A and B are shown apart, each in its own frame.
Chain A
Amino acid sequence: MSATIISLPDQSTARIPKTNFITKENGLLSWLLTGDHKRIAILYLISITFFFFIGGALAGLIRLELLTPQSDLMATDTYNKVFTMHGVVMIFLFLVPSVPATLGNFFIPMMIGAKDLALPKINLLSWYLYVAGGILVIYTMVSGGVDTGWTFTTPLSTHYVNTNVMSTGMAVFIAGFSSIFTGLNFIVTLHKMRCPGMTWFRLPLFCWAHYAASILMVLGTPVLAIAIVLLALERTIGIGVFDPTKGGDPLLFQHLFWFYSHPAVYIMILPGMGVISETVSTFSRKRVFGYTAVAFSSVAIAVFGFFVWAHHMFIMGISNYAMLVFSLLTMLVAVPSAIKIFNWTFTLYKGSITFETPMLYSFGFMGLFTIGGMTGVFLGTSGTDIHLTETYFIVAHFHFVMVGGMLMAFLAGIHFWWPKMTGRMYPEKISQLAAVVTFIGFNLTFFPQFILGTLGMPRRYAAYPPEFQILNVFSTAGATVLGVGYLLPVIYLVWSLKYGEIAGNNPWQATGLEWQTQSPPLTENFLVTPIMDHEAYDYEWLEKQNAKEVASVG
């Protein structure tokens, strides 16, 4: 780890530029009523970090309870509430908005050479809807929680529980619209606001990934909305649509719910994959191998992702023929994801690889997402799914893709773009340590859960047979390490705001329009509208740039 591409300006003379989007206006209202996509991104960053730690605390409680086979830390009802809130908070208030609402909001306009997103007021509305959803979730937790699982399976959620299904449903409904408006904004922006010369195939792959995720947000989330409305009506008025005694079908809720919630996992992962495309290219100093394949595979994941939802319902009572069709289609959707992994690997091949923190997280992503993805194929095969579903195998699978995959990609992105957003570098050594700690903690936490699942331990149970205890103890120990790994970045990133080295425009020597401006950027991003005249990831163009700059100074 001696070689590094970090290139900082001379610290004795470097200063943060006096005029930037942070200093442009002062006062709380200038932040709360802003139209500036960069300020909105920062607002989102603060809020999702807040909810991440709430979700993390809930995870800690889960792992503490599971140290012992008995339900001794809390009552089983309480345990049900804890894992439900953990799921709701982590999925709707953290994972879904994580990369799009922070990094996407901040950088998509800059990457395409625009001054802002197409609809800045809608962007701000998006954040307020998110906060409203978040407040409702906090209200739910404070007033007794909800215990149906984040999937709100009927008829449990409609007929059998006395908990706050309504307020959680409302929270998810509102947060859903936040997501819809973000996606809508991105689609319009990418179609209509690209600077001269920025053709679709010169866009950074980060933009392609967000485009695909935005299609899913716009088309999928409304179905969740109507599912929640019907759930609320069933629960309050008792209309009968999900009630077998009145002629309804509980499975209808699940069809509508999973029609969104499966694309939702692609909403969560695609932006992360976009980050990885950027980091893998930058830290191997090579253009992404097979740009077109990666771009099209993002869209393919989005399209195919709409046709596989019933693989979450194999044991619920769908017909055998539906099982067959959805299982086959699930095999298909794995292909584009694999294409991306192959392309990133070929990007690394014969590249000049360095191991700065974003790259460490990216390596973690590639390994852990591959494992998570492959176990997804085991689950997509209906024959094995019948045995593995509702066990800890599923829990391990989705934590590998979401935490080992998505969260690592998020951290990679935060570290990669931190110098651009703040003008400061984070401390490299401790951040590399945190990345390694996270990786170790993650594997210790979740790998035993694959084994537990195949051995038959059911999920969502506070008590379990004593022979499963040792693996659960490993898992909880890992969770503690993981917690440290996540706390460290908060500490050193905040520290870096005051004491970090001045980063300059382009500490990573990256291509991409966002790196050609000052750090932190101006409110209007560019003084003059850029004209894009080179391909994406064109490192030779960058060299020529630097040669010109050196030649013209002095």
Chain B
Amino acid sequence: MNEYLTLANSKAIYLIVAAILLFVSLFCFIFIIRSYKAGIKMGMDASLLKKAITSSATFTAIPSISILLGVLALGGNLGLPISWLRLSVIGNLQYEATVAQIAAQGMNKTLDSSLLTMDDLVTILLVMTVGIIWGCLLTIFTLKKYTKKIHNRKKDIKKSDRPSFANIAMVAMFIGLCAAFLGNYVSNFIVNGVYLPVITALVSALIMALFEYLITNKNIKSLESFALALSMIIAMIATILFSILL
């Protein structure tokens, strides 16, 4: 390991990163406890609240492994603790990798650990942070006013006879989100012949359809919390098989 990587992976940096992440974890814990207690006081079913927690945990576990792979990929050049920090807070892999590259280019370098120095690393880290904090700043300074505005609009709409458009808009937005990803895989297949993402998505959708059938028609309610995670695992196993066979 060169001197740069030894420093970039030093204990001091691990400790700084761990302290920040512990603080963020504390934030999450406090919000879980507060919202759980509030839910109970509001008369919500405790089992429903527990279901929200378990389903979120199972849902997140597998995609988190792919984020871990991003940590490994970025860690080769930025050191493990910095990529651990960057992929645990704000941003996402696509953003971090692009911005790290732009920042390295700004110093007439490429993102290569044999060329980088600690001066470059701290500069890259500052660029990555300043580039992405705007959503946080907007939240800190405007969220209260913004949510009040949304709330008042909803009240006005409720006064009319029409059902609220809000729920329809939420579903439409999420359909748009899924279509952006799935359409991207289909076009990538048509334009570049990349087929594995399409096959994976298709298998996952079919398995999910089967689970929905079992939940709704065969009343196997215990599947509800795990249907998504299981669909993903089965689709990913199918991806391995297809990549070997095709």
Are A and B subunits of one complex? no
Interface residue ranges, B against A (CB under 8 Å): none
A interface residues (Cβ-Cβ under 8 A, vs B): none
